Amino acid sequence: MENKGHRKLKVAIIHPDLGIGGAERLIVDAAVELASHGHSVHVFTAHHDKSRCFEETMSGKFQVAVYGSFLPRHLFYRFHAVCAYIRCIFVTLCVLFMWPSFDIIVADQVSVVVPLLKLKRPGKVIFYCHFPDLLLAQHTTWLRRMYRKPIDLLEEKTTGMANLILVNSRFTKSTFATTFRGLHSRGIEPAVLYPAVNVSQFSEQCSYKPNFLSINRFERKKNLQLAISAFALLSYSGTNSYGATLTIAGGFDKRLNENVEYLEELKQLAEVNGVSNRVMFVTSCSTQERNALLSQCLCVLYTPENEHFGIVPLEAMASQKPVIACNSGGPMETVKNEVTGFLCEPTPSEFSKAMAKLLSDGELAVRMGREARHHVAELFSTKTFGNQLNRYVLDTYHHRIE
């Protein structure tokens, strides 16, 4: 498709690790959509495992270049932030010295590279902030606070140097304003660009078996134990006379110690609660496997609290499945309570009550699922996302960002 009426731009996207996750899904969608608008797109990253990535990264619709895969992700499971900075800086230096100029460069997650990228003519940089990193990091000890202080200051300073800042939700935008007070006082406000899903990837043919599904990375902040505890409570209450099961699927990276440890903790929790025979774990499922799980479940449990956005609820609703999610963060902007799912307090009892409603009313999930797919197709499609991103890219190139 040609970019009619506009110059075809050369666009570079820099992302730390092109694995499988919500941030990576957004980057892949951004690359595909910008390419569909006629732009030449290159994605630069420090890691791209062809056996564990989104299929589109190997489709040829855009180019992927890897630099610095030899650099460590951590030092003895510490200094993750510094290592991430070093990896992204290395990627950026390779772009600066080994590649011709780009009209627009999109930096994702790590803002420290923004001032370096502005050295490359014409120096038009868009920074996508999923969430302020300083709020994600631990500041629990004096030593950690000393370690994080210069990193946190650098994050705010370099973020403000971008020509345009994008965030993934209104929740993140409000958090951005209260976190980066210096930028806010200077009138620097991010624009919201919601992540999206390709609705056509999800079949309209589905069934509603009594299986609850959780999809998330195996990280403690994803609060997956809530799904197991709620499912166990459902069983204790006697509601689970329908032979219901729970499947916990998601990104699993054996390189990450937390992934390995947390998976074992979850298995032990299921064992202690007496539901291990009805809880199945699926690690690093492919897109096809994920879609198959979505097409056959009753609903999706989304357990993170104060999630910045959350792509899983959109994927679930695109699959015509209702979502039970925490009443906080991004899901409050994507899930319509009691219409496309339920927004609950993050407790096993509240999640269990919502699960019981869907189990006891065979038509409720079908009605909610129908509304959910229409809702996503209207507001969160990749076409809507691509058109909005393309406008931001063109406006940045033509100096028209307000």
pLDDT tens string 53-85: 888 998 889 999 999 999 987 777 677 778 888
Q: Which of 113-117, 131-135, 340-344, 393-397 has the weakest average pLDDT? A: 131-135
Report the C-alpha gap between 196 and 320 in whole angstroms: 15
Do 390 and 364 sit in the same domain of this protein?
no
Q: 75 and 115: one domain?
A: yes
Asked whether residue 214 falls in the same domain as residue 328, the answer is yes
Assigned domain for 137 exists: yes
Question: How many angstroms separate the CA atoms of 287 and 292, rounded?
Answer: 9
Q: What pLDDT is attached to residue 6?
A: 63
- How far is it, in rounded angstroms, from Cα 41 to Cα 105? 10
Q: Please provide the size of the chain in residues.
A: 402
DSSP assignment of 112-168: GGHHHHTTSTT--EEEEESS-HHHHS---SHHHHHHHHHHHHHHHHHHTTSSEEEES
78 lies in the same domain as 60: yes
Task: Indicate the SS3 state at residue 325.
Answer: strand
- Sort 243 into a burial class: Cβ within 10 Å, 0-12 / 13-18 / 19+: exposed
What is the model's pLDDT at position 239? 63
Where b means 16+ CB within 10 Å and e means fewer, 174-209 reads ebbeebbeebeeeebebeebbbbbbbeebeeebebe
pLDDT at 401: 45
Q: Is residue 68 part of a domain?
A: yes
pLDDT digits (tens, 9 = 90+) for 21-33: 778 989 999 999 9
Q: Examine residue 402 and state whether it is found in any structural domain, yes or no.
A: no
- Greatest mean pLDDT range, 8-22, 135-149, 352-366: 352-366
Please give the pLDDT value at position 379.
93
Q: Is the pLDDT of residue 20 over 90?
A: no
Checking if the pLDDT of 3 tops 50, the result is: no
Question: By the 8 A CB rule, do 302 and 322 touch?
Answer: no
Per-residue pLDDT tens for 245-284?
999 998 888 878 889 999 999 999 999 999 999 999 999 7
User: In the beta sheet, which residues pair with residue 104?
Assistant: 11
Stretch 371-381: mean pLDDT:
95
Q: 184 with 211, same domain?
A: no
DSSP conformation letters of 266-303: HHHHHHHTT-GGGEEEEES--HHHHHHHHHH-SEEEE-
Domain hosting residue 245, numbered range: 199-379
Tally the domains of the chain.
Answer: 2
Predicted confidence (pLDDT) at residue 1 exceeds the cutoff of 70: no
Q: Are 137 and 84 in contact (CB under 8 A)?
A: no
Q: How many CB atoms lie within 10 A of CB 69?
A: 13
Same-domain pairing of 67 and 48: yes
Burial grade of 131 (CB within 10 A; 0-12, 13-18, 19 or more): buried
Asked whether residue 153 is domain-assigned, the answer is yes
Positive or negative, the Cα torsion across 211, 212, 215, 219?
Answer: negative
Contacts of 346 (CB under 8 A, 6+ apart): 223, 226, 303, 305, 326, 327, 328
| Contact call for residues 251 and 287 (beta carbons, < 8 A) | no
Do residues 223 and 303 touch, judged by C-beta distance below 8 A?
yes
157-190 pLDDT, tens digit per residue, is 999 999 999 999 999 999 999 988 899 899 899 9
- Asked, for residue 5, whether it belongs to a domain, the answer is no
Distance from the first to the final alpha carbon of the chain: 28
- How distant is the alpha carbon of residue 38 from its chain centre? 25
Distance CA 91, CA 145 (A): 27
221 and 353 share a domain?
Answer: yes
Which pair of tokens denotes residue 44? 């630069």
Residues 156 and 174 both lie in one domain: yes
- Residue 1 belongs to a domain: no
Tell me: do 69 and 186 sit in the same domain.
Answer: yes
Structure tokens at 81: 């932030």
Ranges of beta strands (E only) in 242-400 are 245-250, 279-283, 299-302, 323-326, 341-344
79 and 185 inside one domain: yes
Residue 402 clears pLDDT 70, i.e. is over it: no
Report yes or no on 3 lying in a domain: no
Check residue 144 and give its pLDDT: 62
Q: Are residues 74 and 216 in the same domain?
A: no
Residue 4, in any domain of the structure = no
Two tokens, residue 343: 């927004």
Residues 23 and 158 in one domain: yes
- Tell me what the mean pLDDT of segment 3-31 comes to: 84
Confidence of residue 93 (pLDDT cuts 50, 70, 90): very high
What CATH number is given to the structural domain containing 331?
3.40.50.2000
